[in-house]
Every structure is written in C-alpha cells, then in structure tokens.
Amino acid sequence: FEVSREDAISRVSLTLGARGVGGGVWTRLQVDPYDASKPVVRWFAAVGRSLEELNLPLECEKEETWSDRLRIAKKGGGLHFSEEELQLAAKAYARVGVLYEYVTLSEQLSDKANQLRRAPMILASQRQLTRQKKLERYAKMAEQALRFAERAEQTLPQLRRRCGTARLPDSAAASITALYGAMPLVLAAVVQEAEEEFSQFSSETSAAKRQFRAPRSHAVVQTALAAAAELQSHS
C-alpha cells in the first residue's frame, strides 16, 4: 500500500473559542496522530467500488459468498463457472473477509476519536443547548466510545493474528490508543463547563438568586463529576 506524505505525518491544530459574555476566550491544542490504517482504508474503498460494479459486494445477502453468487446456471444445463473457479472465488472471499474486518474496525475507531476531538467545538457552537444538556451529550458520547474501545480490545489478539497472516499493518492497537487519547479533550470540556457554572453561581449578588440557581448548578456539577470520573479512569 502506498503511503502518501499526508498520511505519514501527525496533524496539529489550534482552536480558539469564546467562554461567554465577558468570559474571555479559551484555546485548545489538538494533535491528530499518524494512522497507519489510512492507506489501506483508502485503497479498500476504491476496490469496494470496483467490486460493486462487478456485482460482487463484500456484504452479500444471507451469509452468501462470492462462490454462491457465481453459481449461475446455464439455460442448457451446467454452470457458467467451473467448480475450480468457484472454489477460487470462495477462497478469495475468505481472504478479503479479514481485510474488510480490519478496514471496518479502523474506520470506526478513527470516526469515534474524531467525534470526541470535534465535540467541544461543535457543542460550544450550539448555544440553544443548556449546560446540563451539553454535559449529558458529552457523557453519552464518551460512554459509547469507551464501550466500543473496550470491545475492540477484547478482540485485538485474534485480529492481530489474522491481520499478521494477511500482511496488514499492525495498527489496531494504536487506533484504540488514539481513541483513548481523545478522552482528555472531552474531560477538559466537561471540567470547563462545571467551572463556568460554579463561577456564575458564585457571582450571583443576592442570596435569593443563589438559592434559585442552586439546584441547577448542583445538577450540572454532579453530572460533570460523574462524567469526569468515568473519563479520567480511561485517560
């Protein structure tokens, strides 16, 4: 697989955002690590399109293989393809299976890591959301990513053996690490939301206003603490 210059480097970006009225700005430095699976994923996408054009999709119906799909009867009897050709098609489908599994997992891990990296910027722009709603979305997003990473880790030994036999890049472990590596960005955003809520609560000038705001601030801080504890345990 050809590795382009774009694939072979990590990317660094700096994001600026407003903290709110009179709250100044925040900055975030983000590093997107090198992903060895990208050349394979890009190549496989092109191959997949070619296979679709040949009516040989990788996701056949009802556990159908390419051998099953090519078992086409002739009008006068017999088959269009010999048994030897059908056996070759079955073996080819089996070889492609591990490649399909590798690409699917790599894409899912990359997508979830990117989702976590972009989440603070995206949610910060959705001003219609309350702070509590933002924290709930952070928590749900992080929980889903954590559960997926854990499932991927459980299958990692078997996948690495199959990928080694297929001579695919040993990148799955690094992709899982990159997903975990995106967690601190969400953790920082969660802590920031809690700090801003506490700051606004503390700035209330009257006891009545503080009493009115206390239940909301308490709920926000508790949600933030729960999310932070979960994220920190995997960061």
Instruction: Encode the chain (235 residues) as per-residue pLDDT tens digits.
Output: 444 455 545 555 555 655 554 555 656 555 666 677 888 888 888 888 887 787 766 665 557 777 887 888 888 788 888 888 888 888 888 777 888 889 999 999 999 998 998 888 888 888 888 888 888 888 888 889 999 999 999 988 988 888 888 888 888 888 999 898 888 888 888 888 888 888 888 888 889 998 998 988 888 888 888 877 877 666 5
**Angle subtended by helix axes 183-202 and 131-165, to nearest 10:** 170
pTM of the model: 0.70
